[in-house]
Amino acid sequence: MIVTVLNPIVATVCQVFSAGYLLLKSYIHNRWRTPIECHCQNRVRGKVVVITGATSGIGKFTALDLARKGALVYLACRNREAGAKFAKEVTRATGNQDVHFLHLDLTDFSSVVAFVQDFLRCEEKLDVLVNNAAIFHHPPKQTQHNLEIIFQTNYLGVFLLTSLLLDTARRTPNSRIIFVSSESHRLVSVRDVETFDPSEPVRVEKFDDHVRLYGISKLSLRIFAQFVAERFPGIQVTEVNPGNVWTPIYRYAWLSWCDMLTRLLCSQLMRNVQEGAQPLIHALNSASLHSGIYLSDNLEVEEKPSYDPAVTRKLVAASVKLVRRYLEGTPKEISVIFQNED
């Protein structure tokens, strides 16, 4: 009886202390250094940029920055009302008339195909694709395609979107594709990616289970990003890690009363959105990054990882299989990646 009562209390205290310790450490470290800021010259003026998940957090801040710098911005958002409203707000705030909302729901493959078709009706080139949208700590759910929701949002939907835009990107000189990653990809192994079956409902009970699911989605994204960098050397691929940033991505995390202290600590000690967006802004504007690198939250460059080509082939082939039927009716030239990937 005593053990049953004490166990959750001890677990909560340990969790709060370990979260507090890690956050405090990074807070103290951040306090005694110059805030992270990208000082690159503006390299996005006049560029056609698609940014996903632009209605919130890091994407929202970056979209405003892009508009301020004179880019032609396509806000790819799942919430129609919020997306259309935000496009108007950005135009009002920046004076940039070339800010457009297009609907995109990564959990619906038909929506991804429709988004690409809508975009290609407006533009013939794509200078930058920013794959920013993602979810974390989502209540367990299978999507309408019977796929685990975090994996589909953070990886499979991005896989399809990127694949369908690759041909346009590779026809555009000096194009870039940026994948917003996360350090949590290091908390899982390639073996976890290989054995993960998104069509099987997953038991998600503890915080660690959420982190594992998110990590699998982000490691899959990393492997795919490296595949794109190798297969399409004409496109500059960058992965960025924003660090721990207090945004609505944590809306479902630490909601129970015993987690409230952790939530409070996170809200106080995590980075703000402005700083969290700097790695992404740096990837958009830097002239010195080469393709395939991973940009840390402190703007440090980590060289390409080397994943076993057999693992990459297996992941890409499995992904192609899962999305193939949604490609029917899309022009051949936009499905370039799907050739020879069976």
Ligand X SMILES: NC(=O)c1ccc[n+]([C@@H]2O[C@H](COP(=O)([O-])OP(=O)(O)OC[C@H]3O[C@@H](n4cnc5c(N)ncnc54)[C@H](OP(=O)(O)O)[C@@H]3O)[C@@H](O)[C@H]2O)c1
Decide: is 135 part of the binding site for ligand X (CB under 6 A): yes
**Phi, psi (rounded to 5 degrees) for 177:** -125, 125
Q: Which is nearer to ligand X, 58 or 172 (CB)?
A: 58
Q: By the 8 A CB rule, do 224 and 315 touch?
A: yes
Q: Which is nearer to ligand X, 217 or 335 (CB)?
A: 217
Report the SS3 class of residue 101. strand
Handedness of CA 227, 131, 135, 7 (dihedral sign): positive
Q: CA-to-CA distance for 309 and 307, rounded, in angstroms?
A: 6
Decide: is 279 part of the binding site for ligand X (CB under 6 A): no
Q: Which is nearer to ligand X, 170 or 221 (CB)?
A: 221
Q: By the 8 A CB rule, do 61 and 39 touch?
A: no
Q: Which is nearer to ligand X, 143 or 286 (CB)?
A: 143
Stretch that binds ligand X, among 12-20, 36-44, 101-109, 302-310 (CB under 6 A): 101-109
Decide: is 247 part of the binding site for ligand X (CB under 6 A): yes
List, in order, residues 6 or more apart from 195 with CB less than 8 Å away: none
Decide: is 53 part of the binding site for ligand X (CB under 6 A): yes
Position of minimal CB gap to ligand X: 57
Closest CA to 204 of 151, 275, 127, 276: 151
- Of 27, 74, 155, 214, the active-site residue reads 214
Q: Which is nearer to ligand X, 105 or 127 (CB)?
A: 105
Binders of ligand X: how many residues, by CB under 6 A? Answer: 26
Decide: is 198 part of the binding site for ligand X (CB under 6 A): no
27 is catalytic: no
What does the DSSP assignment read for 163-209?
HHHHHHHHHSTT-EEEEE--GGGGGS-HHHHHH--TTS-----SHHH
Q: In what order do the strands lie in the sheet with 72-77?
A: 99-103, 72-77, 48-52, 128-131, 176-180, 236-240, 293-295, 301-302
Pairing of strands 128-131, 176-180: parallel
Stretch that binds ligand X, among 40-48, 132-140, 228-236, 304-312 (CB under 6 A): 132-140
Q: Site map for ligand X, 58-77, x if CB under 6 A?
A: xx------------------
Question: Residue from 94, 168, 220, 244 that binds ligand X (CB under 6 A)?
Answer: 244
What is the set of active-site residues? 214
Give the footprint of ligand X on this chain (CB under 6 A).
52-53, 55-59, 78-79, 104-107, 132-135, 153, 180, 182, 242, 244-245, 247-249
